[in-house]
Structure 1
């Protein structure tokens, strides 16, 4: 198995893309930490991951708090002895016209989607450096590449995340730690409840592949970036949009 002997912490893994990544990693032999804010959802995914025969820990924590991220990493190390793979997937989404964008909404998105990555990496990377091995993956969005209208706060956070991860990649490459980004387009997750069926159909027609993405497809990319096979890949942004970025960007 490709992740045998590794421990992976996946933030925002109680549903959607994070859940798919956590379950895929577990099937490849990793011990898993499931993170989210809803205890019931966390417990459900823990049970699913345990079906792969791996050790699984659920931790409720807000990635917007450095103290909570440090406590989460410390508990992971206490339980499993080490943390090898960090997937920063937690995020919030609000489709809001700029003139209606409140300071509170701006702060919420920047805190979770950008500062949350800083907090998690800040808490985890030192022990990766000590062990001379680590994989850091941020799941962002193509809004950090194409900057669509009515998403200024999302675009700012995702673009910032891309720059942050590239800098982290450059700083820690010599220590055996890689840092990469997966930037999905629209993916079939609970967040699609924010869109009408007509809007989803219209979007799918603009995707050259002709459909929206599946969480399991994002998980396969994350598995590659977390594996030994990706040891020579760092500082990259992998766009996974079915061609929408090149067709509509």
Structure 2
């Protein structure tokens, strides 16, 4: 049994809230971008792909600083959102935004590869039967790319759950508001006698991440089985 202090439990709950929010809101955008990159033929596609994957190669602090420049209360966009009652900087919603930005490229890549692996002939055959483009996508493309979609969502959740650099730069580490699990681990490391809390939080982080990966593998195998044997 892991005994965690109340502030550690609070950080864990906030991390789950941030990572789930980031995953749910980012996954549809990642899917749309993956489809655009996989099937689109337009000028600037390579530039778009590079921009999407930029958070992977930039230091996370740089990404967080860029978000701060865009969404700080003193910035035009940040001021407009705050006037609408949607403040982001130094709020848990900002932590979710930063986590989503960092998770986006890890979602897009497996989704794009899975779409590119779908045989266009199957989609064309479905279209010749009179199905609409949406029906073809829902009935043919989506089931075939489902394992890649699931892999992207899992990777995105894991990245959002463990994100530290961009989140702490954009949203800071405010207890109860933006102090996620990685930030709490860092904070406990700075406190004499905080090693026990650090070990507990690390154990929980490993358990949550491992559970997400195992669940993803189980669901992916079941999907693959159904595709091989629809009956």
Per the normalisation by structure 2, the TM-score is: 0.27
User: Greater helix share, 1 or 2?
Assistant: 2
User: Greater strand share, 1 or 2?
Assistant: 1
Q: Which has the larger radius of gyration?
A: 2
